[in-house]
Structures are given as structure tokens and as C-alpha cells.
Chain A
Amino acid sequence: MEPTTRLQEHLRAPARSLCFLLLALPAALLGAVYLTSLTAVGIGLGIVLTPALTVVLRGLADVYRRQIAAATGERIDRPYLPDVPGEPVHKRFVRIVSDPATWRDLLWMSVEPYAVLVTGALPALLVLYGVWGWIIAAFAGRAIGEAGGNDYYLFVHVEGSYGDDPARRLTTVAVGAVLVALGFAFGPKLLGAYGRWGRALLGPTEASRLKLRVRHLTETRSDAVDASAAELRRIERDLHDGAQARLVAMGMSLGAIEHLLDKDPEKARLLLARTRESSAKALSELRDLVRGIHPPVLADRGLADAVRALALDHPLDVEVTADLPGRPDAPVESAGYFAVAEMLTNAAKHSGADRVWIDLRHADGTLRISVTDDGRGGATLDGGTGLRGVERRIGTFDGVLALNSPPGGPTTVTLELPCDLTAATI
């Protein structure tokens, strides 16, 4: 968000406040409908209706979260337990009802329409009422009086003789001006108070925050364990079928050579050549294996140079820009490296791109990696692109992945990994 001056904040407050005033009506309606739906559980209708209404309820709550965030500059996180895809309707109902966030949303929708009148909507009400005072003073007061009306504008009596009493009309203008001024003056304060109460109900409580965190950690931990177990199995298999088998074969050949040395030196020489070849192959297999576990350049030079080395070996034209004043922890570095490798493979396999741009930088405690290609776009997380796998792997480090791939391209994948850098050694 761009920085706003205090004056701007004061000027904007009544308009923002008006938006909360307008939201009060749908909120009150929705609260009532939702409550009705819940009470209809007895006749079974509620079980079907509630999940659908929950979507609307959460949608409206999200509108509030966004508006409050815009008014107070503080983000409100969604507190809901995550959806379970393919869940039967009755289970979904139970999950929704047992989620405290649902009840807090409902409480919000039921109480907020009244509470808003003395907090969030007050700046707008003050300004509107002040302007109404000016309208009364200008012509509406006379019209009301002549039509036989008998009314009060705050303490100013508006009746038959109002239109011909300059003192009362002046007082009305002054009172109106004071109200407008109050609306602008206390706008940010009132919105701030409203925001605090909104955050208290709409935001996650400490308990639900912890619950969500635990769930996230459980998922990512099991992903991490699965991934590393699969990796170990692959390494074991590669060693068993590759280098280990070759060493066994070499040992046997050496035994045979020992036997043949005196009897048939010519054949021994032939076997020796073959054994040497075998040892070279074993070495090259080990080399590939090591590259797959932890690339040497990554260990030597860190992420930026390792990605540069990757780019040099890549069939597409890859341009790397990097601004990393230090090195992240080795596991984060490695996750970032393999994510880039996977995305480059994707770009070459699926996108039809000719060029790829990779940008690495670190700011505000976050390592940001973006990979852009000029391919045909239209990539999805689930289209067998391996991006889901990347997302899971960086999830272990609380990393997030954002995909932007409109049809026709370009495709940009951005990764963000929270981490600190240690000073570069080179």
C-alpha cells in the first residue's frame, strides 16, 4: 500500500465509513438467514443449505476483512479450517459447525450492523447528518415548516416559523459544520477502533492460529519425510544397480586377471582394459548421483552461481540475474535450487518457450525466486507440471509459490522462501 499522509487519512475516513454503513444491511440479512438455516437442521434442510450459505457468509466476511484492512492498513488472516475436497455433505456440515470461526462470523453478522452505528459508520453518519443540517438551513427547513412539519435538528426546533428565523437557520448551519468537522476529525480513530473489534472477531484467535499452524506443519512434515524417504530409496537403488554392481564385476575381473596373468597374458590385457572402462563408468555414475543429491557448484558457490551453472547446461536461452548479499541455510538453498531446476525442466518440456529469465533476490527476510518464460502460457498447478511437487517441497520451509500464466504467455512462477542470509564467504 502506498504511504498516505494523515490529512489523506482524515479525508478518506468518512468515505470508507460509508462503505461499512452500506454493508450493514446485507450483513444483518445474511446473519438472520444463516441462523434460520442452522435451526432448520431438525428437518434436514439445514444440512444441505448451511454449507452453501457458509460460502456466502465467508465471502461477505472476506469483504469485511479486505475493507477493514484497507481502512486500517492491517491485514486480517482467514481463520477457517481448510476445505477437504470430495467431502460428503453431512461431514462438511459437521466440519463447518465445529469450526469456531463459523460462529464468530455469525456473531459478527448479527452484532455488527448495530455496533457499526457507533464505530465504523459513525464518521459517515456525522458527515451525512451535518450536510443534512445545511440542506435544512438552505431550503428543506422552510419546506418542512410550511408543510406543517414539527421536527428537531438535534436541538433546533424545525416548524412553521423556521424559514423566517435567521438565528435558528444560522445555528443549524453551525451545528452542521461542527458535525461534519467531527466526522472528519475523529474518522481515523473511530475506524481504528472498529478495525480492532473486527480483527478480534474476524481474524484468527491465538488458538485457531496455532491449530492452522499445527495442521500446516503436520502436512509439510509428512511431505518432507515422504520426499526424503523416496530420495533415499532412489539413491540406494542407484548405488545398488550402478556403482556397487560395477565394483563387484571389477573385483571378479581382477580375480580372473590374476589367474590369466601367466597362462594367457593377451586375454588378461583385454580384461584389464575392460575393467578400467568399468571403473570409469562407475565413477561417472557416482558423479551423476552426487549431482542429483547436492550439486557441487551449489556447495562451492551458493545459489546464484549454481543457478548460473544450471542455465549454462540448459537447452533454452536462460538469463540469470541475482542479488543475494549472502547465502541462505543449506537446506533452503538446496530447496530453492531444485525448485529452479524443476521449473526449468517444465519450461523446456511444456511451455514451448525460447527464452527464460530467472531472478534471485533477498529482501525483508524473504528469498524471492522468479522464473519467467516466453512460452505459450496456460500452465496450471495440477496439469502434471510438477509445480505441485515444487510447492510441497518448499512448503517444508514455509515457502509459497505463485503461478501467473495467462493463455498465450508469458508464464511467471514466483517462489518466496522466508530465510536469513549469512554473509558470503567469497
Chain B
Amino acid sequence: MRVVLAEDLALLREGLVSLLESHGFEIVAAVDNGPSLLKALNEREPDVAVVDVRLPPSFTDEGLQAALEARRRVPGLPVLVLSQYVEQLYARELLADGAGGVGYLLKDRVFDAAQFVDAVRRVAAGGTAMDPEVIARLVARGGRDTPVSRLTPRELEVLELMAQGRSNAAIAQQLVVTERAVTKHTANIFGKLGLAVSDDDNRRVLAVLAYLNR
């Protein structure tokens, strides 16, 4: 799998390169600034891009802007955005085109190599990988009278994992319940949120997030 990587800190960039290479990815370009990232995304046509939000020369959200720009040119180009902090605003912008293949994770998640690599693969396959913190904050703000506030704690847990892009089987494993139980929970969640059930994992997440972000 061909990867374009953008990260301005040399130490982290090298770490990510060796981590991804050791898991069988092919790094076609590892850049350290926004303009080179755009160029690499246009020329190398990677299967997935792993991008730091904050990049030179502006040291603002250059990476995010480049990723969004590239996705405007190639809709659905899988992009996994890494950041020191997560913002719902940015998550929303990434999800806005509804094309999937989007990830938005805290840099800390790299610590758990297996999970991180899993997230990269999921995004490359057109799925989503939202950081648990994005979901937690969405759920936390809930408010007094939103459909989300009518979910049970267990259903919230399922929703959170679902939004991270996990399959029912993975959720069942994580929560140590049967897959049947998870299916029941998801049906309940969709019922309470007034969403039509769909088999498609990705569309499911997008629908949930779109609903929460409304």
C-alpha cells in the first residue's frame, strides 16, 4: 500500500516511516511542508495520505487545508490527519464531503502501533477513523434535550466505537459481548436517532456524525 506522509518534525517523521514500513506500507513520499505535500499528493497518487495538521510555512492548519484541497481534486482520496489536538470543527470539515476515507486522530494514538496501523488501513479502504476524543466531546456536549441524551450509557459506548469506524464484530470484542447484542444496540441507536439502518459501516458513521454535527 502506497503512502504519502507529511510531518514537519524530523524525529516523528522518521518514526512514522519506520513504523509504517515495518507494517508493510510503501512510503512513496515523506515531506515536511504544505506545498510539497500538495505536490506529492498530485504526482504520486498514493493509496492513503498521513498528514500532520500543522505544517510549515504558515504553521497553522496548512496540512488540513492541503488535504481538503487534494480531496476536492480527487474526491474520496483517503486522508488520515494527525494532530496534537482535536477539534470538532476540523472533523466536520473533513467529513463534510461525505465521501469517506477520512481519519482524524491525536498524535498520541501512534503509541499503539497495532491500532494506528489498523486505522490507516481502515481509512485507505474508504472507512473512517475518528479519534475517541472527538466522539467523547460530541457526546459530552449532548445538551438537555437531544436525541443523544436519550441513549443508554451502553448505547453511547457502542455509538462511540461505531463512530471510530469499528465493525460490529470489533465492537463486540471490545465490549466483551456477543455480536448479536451489538446489532441490537445499533438498531436501538438508529431508532432513537431516527436514522435508517444501513449495512455499510462507513455510511453508518457518516450518518451518525452528520446527525450529531447538524
The segment out of B10-18, B141-149, B164-172, B200-208 that lies at the interface is B141-149
Tally of contact residues, A, Cβ under 8 A: 25
Complexed CA–CA distance, A296 and B140 (Å): 21
Q: Does the CB pair B85–A300 fall under 8 Å? A: no
Q: Does the CB pair B88–A309 fall under 8 Å? A: yes
Q: Does the CB pair A300–B143 fall under 8 Å? A: no
Chain B residues with CB below 8 A from A290, complex form: 84-85
Least CB separation from A306: chain B residue:
B89
Chain A residues with CB below 8 A from B54, complex form: 296, 300
B108 within 8 A of partner (CB)? yes
If A280-B108, A313-B137, A354-B144 touch, whether A425 touches B87 (CB-CB below 8 Å) is no
Chain A residues with CB below 8 A from B140, complex form: 315
Main secondary structure of the interface of B (DSSP, over half): helix
Q: Does the CB pair B143–A309 fall under 8 Å? A: no
Least CB separation from B61: chain A residue:
A300
Least CB separation from B144: chain A residue:
A354
Complexed CA–CA distance, A284 and B107 (Å): 10
Least CB separation from B145: chain A residue:
A354
Q: Does the CB pair B108–A308 fall under 8 Å? A: no
Q: Does the CB pair B60–A300 fall under 8 Å? A: yes
If A276-B111, A425-B58 touch, whether A316 touches B87 (CB-CB below 8 Å) is no
Chain B residues with CB below 8 A from A291, complex form: 85
Which of the residues B61, B92, B143 comes within 8 Å of A301, measured between beta carbons?
Answer: B61
Residue in B61, B89, B137, B142 with the greatest tally of chain A CB atoms within 10 Å: B89
A312 within 8 A of partner (CB)? yes
Q: Does the CB pair B61–A280 fall under 8 Å? A: no
If A279-B111, A284-B108 touch, whether A315 touches B141 (CB-CB below 8 Å) is yes
Interchain residue pairs with CB less than 8 A apart (15)? A280-B108, A283-B107, A287-B85, A290-B84, A291-B85, A296-B85, A297-B89, A299-B60, A300-B54, A312-B89, A312-B92, A315-B142, A317-B143, A425-B58, A426-B65
User: What's the nearest-Cβ distance from chain A to residue B109, in Å?
Assistant: 9
Complexed CA–CA distance, A119 and B213 (Å): 66
Main secondary structure of the interface of A (DSSP, over half): helix
Interface string of B94-111 (1 = CB under 8 A from A): 000000000000011001
Complexed CA–CA distance, A301 and B54 (Å): 12
Complexed CA–CA distance, A241 and B53 (Å): 29
Least CB separation from A308: chain B residue:
B89
A314 within 8 A of partner (CB)? yes
Least CB separation from A282: chain B residue:
B108
Chain A residues with CB below 8 A from B141, complex form: 312-315
Least CB separation from A287: chain B residue:
B85
Least CB separation from A425: chain B residue:
B58
If A287-B84, A297-B87, A309-B88 touch, whether A316 touches B143 (CB-CB below 8 Å) is yes
A231 within 8 A of partner (CB)? no
A151 within 8 A of partner (CB)? no
Complexed CA–CA distance, A317 and B60 (Å): 28
User: What's the nearest-Cβ distance from chain B to residue A229, in Å?
Assistant: 26
A36-62 residues at the B interface, CB under 8 angstroms? none
A305 within 8 A of partner (CB)? yes
A379-426 residues at the B interface, CB under 8 angstroms? 425-426
Chain A residues with CB below 8 A from B65, complex form: 426
Pairs of residues from A and B, 9 with the lowest C-beta to C-beta distance, nearest first = A300-B60, A300-B61, A312-B88, A309-B89, A280-B108, A315-B141, A309-B87, A283-B108, A287-B85
If A314-B141, A315-B143 touch, whether A296 touches B87 (CB-CB below 8 Å) is yes
Residue in A291, A305, A312, A315 with the greatest tally of chain B CB atoms within 10 Å: A312
Least CB separation from A281: chain B residue:
B108
Complexed CA–CA distance, A375 and B140 (Å): 22
B142-197 residues at the A interface, CB under 8 angstroms? 142-144
B75-92 residues at the A interface, CB under 8 angstroms? 84-85, 87-90, 92
Chain B residues with CB below 8 A from A280, complex form: 108, 111
If A308-B89, A314-B141, A316-B143 touch, whether A296 touches B84 (CB-CB below 8 Å) is yes
Chain A residues with CB below 8 A from B137, complex form: 313
Chain A residues with CB below 8 A from B92, complex form: 312
Chain A residues with CB below 8 A from B88, complex form: 309, 312-313
B18-65 residues at the A interface, CB under 8 angstroms? 54, 58, 60-61, 65
Q: Kindly list 12 other residue pairs between chains A and B, CB separation below 8 angstroms, not including A283-B107, A291-B85, A317-B143.
A: A276-B111, A283-B108, A296-B54, A299-B60, A300-B60, A301-B61, A308-B89, A309-B89, A313-B137, A315-B141, A315-B143, A425-B58
User: What's the nearest-Cβ distance from chain A to residue B166, in Å?
Assistant: 20
Chain A residues with CB below 8 A from B84, complex form: 283, 287, 290, 296
Complexed CA–CA distance, A425 and B58 (Å): 10
Least CB separation from A310: chain B residue:
B89
Least CB separation from B83: chain A residue:
A296
Least CB separation from B146: chain A residue:
A317
User: What's the nearest-Cβ distance from chain B to residue A376, in Å?
Assistant: 15
Complexed CA–CA distance, A315 and B143 (Å): 5
Complexed CA–CA distance, A317 and B149 (Å): 14
Chain A residues with CB below 8 A from B85, complex form: 287, 290-291, 296
Complexed CA–CA distance, A290 and B83 (Å): 13
Interface string of A261-301 (1 = CB under 8 A from B): 00000000000000010011001100100110000110111
Chain A residues with CB below 8 A from B111, complex form: 276, 279-280
A337-369 residues at the B interface, CB under 8 angstroms? 354
Chain B residues with CB below 8 A from A300, complex form: 54, 60-61
B111-150 residues at the A interface, CB under 8 angstroms? 111, 137, 140-144
